[in-house]
Chain A
Amino acid sequence: MASYLLKRILLAIPVLWGIATLIFLLSRLMPGIYGAELLGQSDSGYFGKADANSREKAYRQFLHRTGQDLPLFYFSLSPATEPDTLHLIFPESERLFLKRLSWQYGDWQLVSSFHNSLKYVEQATPVAQRNRLAPYLQTIYQNPTPKGIERAVTALSSLAPNQVAQKSQLQHHTAQLLEGQNPYAYLMPALRWHGTANQYHRWLVGLAQGEFGTSFRLKRPVSAVLFEAVGTTWWLLLISMVVATAIALELSLRMVRRGGHSWRKAVLPSLFLLDSIPLFVLAMLLLVLLASPAFLQLFPVYGMGYFQEAQLTKAQALGQWLQFMALPLLCLVLANLPYLTSQFYHALTDTANQDYIRTARAKGLSESTVIRKHMLRNALLPVITLLSDFLPALVAGAVIIETVFAIPGMGRLLIDSVLARDYPVIMGIVVLVAAFKLLSHLLADLLYATADPRIRHATT
Chain B
Amino acid sequence: MRKTQAVLFSLLLLLSFCSQPERQPDEVRVRLAVDPANLNPVNYSELEALQILNLLYNSLLAPDLSYNTLKPSLASTLPEVERTDSLTYFTYQLREEAEWPNGEAVTAADVAFTLKVLKAPYVDNESVKPQVEFIQDIVLYADSPGKFTFVCTGYSPEMELLTGDFFILPSYLLDPEGLLNPLTLQQLSDTVAVAHNNSRIQEFAKRFNTLGSSQSTEQLQGSAGYTLERWAPGQYITLKRKEDWWGTTIGKASEYLTANPARISFQIIPENTTALLALQNRQLDVLDNIPVAEFEQLKQNKTFQQDYALHSPQGYELVYAGINTRQSKLNDRRTRQALAHLFDVGNLIKVTQQSYAIPTVGPVPPDAEEFYHTRLKPYTFDVQQAVALLKSAGWVQSSEGWHRSLNGKREALTLEIIYRAGNTTYEQSALIFQQNAAKAGIPVTVQALESSSLNQRLAAHDFDMFFRAISGNPFVFNFKPLFHTSFAAPGGFNVTGVGTTESDQLLEGINAAETQEEKAQLLKRLQEVLHEEAAFLPLYYRKEKLAVHRRFTNTKISGLRPYYDVSSFLLKK
Contacts and interface: CB of A to CB of B under 8 A. Distances in A.
Chains A, B in direct contact (C-beta < 8 Å) = yes
Nearest to B131: A49
B274 A228 contact: no
B568 interface: no
A46 B37 contact: no
Nearest to B159: A47
A53 B312 CA distance: 39
A319 to B, nearest CB: 7
A301 B501 contact: no
Interface string B207-219: 0011011110000
Question: Which of A31, A46, A50 lies at the interface centre, i.e. has the most chain B CB atoms within 10 A of its CB?
Answer: A46
B320 to A, nearest CB: 12
Interface string A287-320: 1100111100111111111110000000000011
A258 interface: no
A383 interface: no
A54 B133 contact: yes
Interface stretch (A131-139, A188-196, A352-360): A131-139
B380 interface: no
Contact of A300 (B19, B273, B461): B19
B328 A135 contact: yes
Interface string A32-52: 110111111111111111111
Contact of B277 (A287, A304, A323): A287
Contact of A219 (B38, B162, B470): B38
Interface in B125-151: 126-127, 129-131, 133
A384 B58 CA distance: 59
B265 A306 contact: yes
A91 to B, nearest CB: 4
A419 B47 CA distance: 16
A56 interface: yes
B281 A301 contact: yes
B260 interface: no
A287 B456 contact: no
Interface stretch (A339-347, A402-410, A443-451): A402-410
Interface in A129-170: 130-132, 134-139, 141-142, 151, 155
Contacts of B480: 47-48
B126 A48 contact: no
A408 B470 contact: no
A138 B327 contact: yes
Contact of A46 (B363, B450, B461): B363
Contacts of A59: 126
Given A42-B451, A54-B129, A93-B490, A406 B19 contact: no
Contact of B460 (A55, A93, A421): A93
A350 interface: no
Question: Which of A35, A47, A301, A303 lies at the interface centre, i.e. has the most chain B CB atoms within 10 A of its CB?
Answer: A47
Contacts of B265: 306-307
Contact of B215 (A54, A220, A299, A421): A220
Contacts of B122: 65
Contact of A406 (B15, B268, B363, B472): B268
Given A52-B487, A138-B327, A406-B274, A45 B471 contact: yes
B268 A58 contact: no
Interface residues of B, number: 100
A380 interface: no
A55 B128 CA distance: 9
B325 A131 contact: yes
A306 B127 contact: no
A323 B34 CA distance: 23
Nearest to B304: A293
A186 interface: no
Interface string B485-515: 1011111110001011100100000000000
B156 interface: yes
A55 B492 CA distance: 10
A317 B222 CA distance: 32
A218 interface: yes
Given A37-B455, A92-B456, A408-B35, A219 B19 contact: no
A303 B236 contact: yes
Contact of B18 (A42, A155, A307, A319): A319
Contacts of B267: 302-303, 306
A288 B450 CA distance: 31
Contacts of A229: 234
Nearest to B497: A134
A61 B471 CA distance: 27
Contacts of B230: 307
Given A47-B476, A127-B500, A219-B210, A412 B281 contact: no
A23 interface: no
B126 A62 contact: yes
B356 interface: no
B352 interface: no
A167 B487 CA distance: 23
Given A46-B472, A58-B126, A408 B233 contact: yes
A43 to B, nearest CB: 6
Interface string B360-388: 00010000000000000000000000000
B25 interface: no
B460 A31 contact: no
B235 A135 contact: no
A37 B213 contact: no
A57 B158 CA distance: 22
Contacts of B19: 297-300, 323
Nearest to B331: A135
Given A42-B455, A49-B162, A134-B331, A291 B281 contact: yes
A385 to B, nearest CB: 27
Contact of B459 (A54, A91, A300, A304): A91
A45 B481 CA distance: 9
Contacts of B461: 93, 138, 141-142
Interface in A180-238: 217-220, 228-229, 232
B456 A52 contact: no
Contacts of B470: 44-46
Contacts of B232: 304, 307
Contacts of A217: 37-38, 45
Given A44-B482, A294-B280, 5 more contacts: A44-B493, A47-B481, A50-B133, A51-B481, A220-B214
| A-B residue pairs, 4 tightest by C-beta | A408-B234, A50-B130, A48-B481, A32-B452
Interface of A: 31-33, 35-52, 54-59, 61-62, 65, 91-94, 96-97, 126-128, 130-132, 134-139, 141-142, 151, 155, 217-220, 228-229, 232, 250, 284, 287-288, 291-294, 297-307, 319-320, 322-323, 326, 403-409, 412, 416, 420-421
14 contacts: A32-B450, A32-B456, A45-B471, A46-B158, A46-B478, A51-B130, A52-B487, A59-B126, A138-B326, A219-B38, A284-B273, A287-B274, A307-B230, A319-B18
